[in-house]
Amino acid sequence: MFTFEKFLVKTNRYRMQLYNKLSGFERAALIDEAGKDRITVSFYQYFKIETPQLFRDKLFLEWNALDILGRIYVSFEGINAQLSVPSENLHALKNQLDSISFLRDIRLNVALAHDNKSFLKLKIKVKNKIVADGLKDETFDVTNRGVHLNATEFNAMLAHPDTVCVDMRNHYESEIGYFEGAVTPDVDTFRDSLDVIEQDLKNNKEDKNLLMYCTGGIRCEKASAYYKHKGFKNVFQLEGGIIEYTRQVQAEGIENKFIGKNFVFDQRRAEKITEDVVASCHQCGVPCDTHTNCANDGCHLLFIQCDECSEAKNNTCSEECQDVIQLSSEVQKELRRGKEITGETFKKGRSAVLKFKKKFS
């Protein structure tokens, strides 16, 4: 029988590889060489994990053996996983998850469009939280969640005259796609949105239906419990988020109420839900919904850039960054030396040089 204690002894004895040792470039080459199709999936589960570091190491050994790549967060409160798995190993992954009591029969949100290089490394990190919400969970019942709705139920609630639909994602996510009539808060973080929404709806806690959605559902799980704690009486959430909603829409012929693209946190950056382009290039203002990162590694700004601006500006966000990337790699490294990597350095679409960035009400 497996125990974390036995696992720890075995790990120390054989000094097993517990961290990724390949660069993204090396992994991309191996993916090309293998020539196998891969599937991008995601899942989450809130559950009290007593020893998250040992659980993390167990997952790394098992998933590394299955050639799984991705970004996974493990904490005392559960797991949040986004993965790329070879198609031939998907069944083995499901079996492995079923062997873990709190992950048995877990729903996997399968990506709409697959990219063999959606992830290029296996990164499993132990965090304080699986989503940075800034909340003190001991102050409210995190299991007292809102009502889960499927796609059909969500559409019906969305059409109700007493419903306020709120996008629980950040500004750069909702900028390229959203549900019809949804409120899209101009926030940088999930934690920021919690206070903004409560303040905006403080006079409607009892007479409005608070309907929430996010990418895969994980943010709404915590937010719905938080808002019920704050006195909201009618709290609802889209089960499985935009990803599962779209799957149900396509599989069951349900009317689609989402417009544009769904932002995703991997190399693809987005999945196209409809042909509508609801955003614009942050540099010239033409209709565009393609996110990119500034080619200057010392900036790395995430912003929307059309093909013409990308070519004219060498995939940079400003003239200053365009000048920097013309320098040798050694000089660029020297310019970055000693600079603290903070949220300001890796900001998302907030630079003053982006003249046509979208404004939210």
Q: What tokens were used for 335?
A: 């310019």
Q: Are residues 209 and 299 in the same domain?
A: no
- Phi/psi for 127 (5° steps) reads -125, 165
At 3 the pLDDT is 52
Q: Which of 217, 252, 287 is the last residue of a domain?
A: 252
- The count of domains in the chain is 3
Q: Determine, yes or no, domain membership for 296.
A: yes
CATH code of the domain containing 225:
3.40.250.10
Question: Which residues are CB-contacts of 102 (< 8 A; sequence separation ≥ 6)?
Answer: 45, 47
CA distance to 27, 119, 221, 285, 291, per residue, from 265 (Å): 18, 10, 19, 24, 11
Q: Are residues 321 and 359 in the same domain?
A: yes
- The answer to whether 7 touches 54, Cβ cutoff 8 Å, is yes
The amino acid present at 319, given as its one-letter code, is E
Q: How far apart are CA 298 and CA 323, in angstroms?
A: 12
Tell me the average pLDDT of the chain.
90
Which listed residue (214, 281, 294, 321) is catalytic?
214
Q: Determine, yes or no, domain membership for 107.
A: yes
Query: ∠210-223-243 over CA atoms, to 5°?
Result: 85
Express each pLDDT in 150-186 by its tens digit.
999 999 999 999 999 999 999 999 999 999 999 999 9
Express each pLDDT in 148-159 by its tens digit.
999 999 999 999
Q: Determine, yes or no, domain membership for 271.
A: no
Q: Which of 98, 126, 154 is the last residue of a domain?
A: 126
Examine the pLDDT at 359 and tell me if it is beyond 80.
no
Q: Determine, yes or no, domain membership for 270.
A: no
Percent of the chain residues past pLDDT 90, beyond the cut = 70
Q: Residue 82 sits in which domain range? A: 4-126
At 361 the pLDDT is 40
Q: What tokens were used for 205?
A: 């806690």
Q: When comparing pLDDT for 315 and 341, which is higher? A: 315
Helix, strand or coil for residue 108? coil
Q: Are residues 27 and 118 in the same domain?
A: yes
281 is catalytic: no
Q: What is the mean pLDDT of residues 233-258?
A: 96
pLDDT band at 360 (very low <50, low <70, confident <90, very high): very low
Q: When comparing pLDDT for 319 and 7, which is higher? A: 319
Q: Are residues 76 and 171 in the same domain?
A: no
Helix, strand or coil for residue 208? coil
Express each pLDDT in 71-110 by its tens digit.
999 999 999 999 999 999 999 999 999 999 999 999 999 9
